[in-house]
Structure 1
Amino acid sequence: MRLNRPTLGASAPPEWLFKETITLSAPENQANVIVSSEAVSPTFTTSSYADAQGRLLSTEFPHYTEHRYEGVLLFGEHVGMLREFSWTPPDGVRVRQVQWYCVIEGRGYTATATSVETEFERRRTTLVEVLLSAEARR
């Protein structure tokens, strides 16, 4: 795998919040990984951030089914949470996703790997490798 580092930056007024997103797409959009970070409340921990995301998924994603939820080591040294789930988007093609969460110094990090459910197991190793390769630079 090759490491890609974002090349964009911007300035904003002091009261604005920064949300960063990187999208990696497999050939012909057969799968993707989206990594993002956003400012979060100082009261958020990794667990409370992951729990809040889980509540959002279960209420907003049709036919949501959670398959796995556990701790995992992220960014080489931080304990994060990993959730695997499936759901059915409006196009009717069921997808499976692996999503991990971590809160570090007031920023919430989320990374999501997605593929149609029928192809997920075939792509699992690559998707998880890409997910776990994400880096946070401060």
Structure 2
Amino acid sequence: MYPADLVKPMKEELTSIGFEELQSAEAVDQAIQQEGTTLVVVNSVCGCAASNARPGAKMSLENSKKPSHLATVFAGVDKEATEKARAHMVPFPPSSPCMALFKDGELVHMLERHHIEGRPAEMIAENLKDAYNEYC
């Protein structure tokens, strides 16, 4: 587990723009099962989360269609919540960072680490915007 002081600014990068921090399995279930669309970001301390994933998630919200709900879990910190979020992302293997869009509780779009790592934040944002335009 990572120290709270280390991950605080990484969490705040998303929570400060409206992402709900989920810290329990129950909170994850409630967030994903909400009516409408929910974007879940599995956050992490890795460099691709800092340079690509979090900025890409932020930029994706600059779109006319957006998810109804925004949520995040932090890999290596919120173990129970992260495991539950990943269980909802099956058949995709666990990865962090990653981003999943759910509609009425069903997984409709997934960005795994290999879709994020090495790609600019703008490309990640465009991928998410395409999904929002289709499902939101």
Q: TM-score, normalised by structure 1?
A: 0.29
Larger Rg: 1
Where relative contact order (Cα < 8 A, 6+ residues apart) is larger, the structure is 2
Length-normalised TM-score, structure 2 = 0.30
More strand by share: 1
> Where is the helix percentage greater, Structure 1 or Structure 2?
2
